[in-house]
Amino acid sequence: MGRKKPGKPRRERTTAEYTLQQLLPPGYDRWMTPAPDLDPERAAADPTLSAQALGLMRRLVRLRPVYGPKIPVQAVWLDVALDGGALRLRRTDGSVGNLPADELAAMLGGTAEAVDVRGAVHELHATGMLLVEPDGEDDTVLRVVVGKPAKPGDPWLFGGDIASDLVPKACIPGDLRTLGADRFAALAYLRSHLAEGTVGTAEEYATFEGVGFVERAQELFDAVADLVEVRGCPACPSAHLCTRDPEAQPAL
């Protein structure tokens, strides 16, 4: 009993991977599950379907590859806000400032023409680096997360929170165009651990869907190693979306 059988590898212990829904972001209590076969163009032939309902269907189909089968209503709010070409960002002092798409693109490492701003912002939202909250009846505002929960029940920390002073200020590397989805996911995993004061491992990451092997996990880690501990500041040439205090970053 307790002895390893010859020729049989020992099963490694793994840590559960939690979805955004399981981590219970504040205010995220409405989630939509579009049918797998949802086809807005086919539905458009139904004369009883309103333009508003058809528009929502199209948004859900576009968002599903990013968020998975369960989409928070905040993702739809964010998508609507992106239609206008500008977002609103809550600063660490609680004030809210406008963030035009071209400025956001610069923070993400390029120009509005060169960066898929909509896709990049949704990726950051889906991985819990940004959260969305209502601001009045028709507006939404972004909040930058500096401490993502390690497990359900742990707090979400934002710039300006007292507890966030204890968390490393992990800025989000900007040029997402050059990373690709697999490297971006690995970077998000490593930086989430950094913000939580823990260390991610290739053994754990290999258990995530789409990775499969420790060697592949380590290959992805090596590819983004130079970005894991990058901090942003006014002098930083890499155009990061910074989570430091307002005094330490350019005014929006």
pLDDT digits (tens, 9 = 90+) for 87-116: 888 876 778 888 877 777 666 555 566 567
Query: What is the average pLDDT value for the chain, to the nearest integer?
Result: 74
Asked whether residue 26 is assigned to any structural domain, the reply reads no
Q: Is residue 208 part of a domain?
A: yes
Contact indicator for 32, 89 with CB cutoff of 8 Å: no
Residue 62 within any structural domain of the chain: yes
Q: Which residue has the higher pLDDT, 40 or 159?
A: 40
Is residue 201 a part of any domain in this protein? yes
Residues in the chain: 252
Residue 221 binned pLDDT confidence (cut-offs 50, 70, 90): very high
Domain that holds residue 115: 51-245
Highest-confidence segment of 11-15, 148-152, 187-191, 246-250: 148-152
Specify if 8 maps to a domain. no
What is the SS3 assignment for 118? Answer: helix
The verdict on residue 91 lying in a domain is yes
* pLDDT band of 55, cuts 50, 70, 90: confident
Strand partners, 14: none
Burial class (CB in 10 A: 0-12, 13-18, 19+), 79: buried
Total count of domains within the chain: 1
Distance (Å, whole) CA 230 – CA 169: 10
Q: How far apart are alpha carbons 173 and 109 in whole angstroms?
A: 8
Q: Let me know if residue 15 belongs to a domain.
A: no
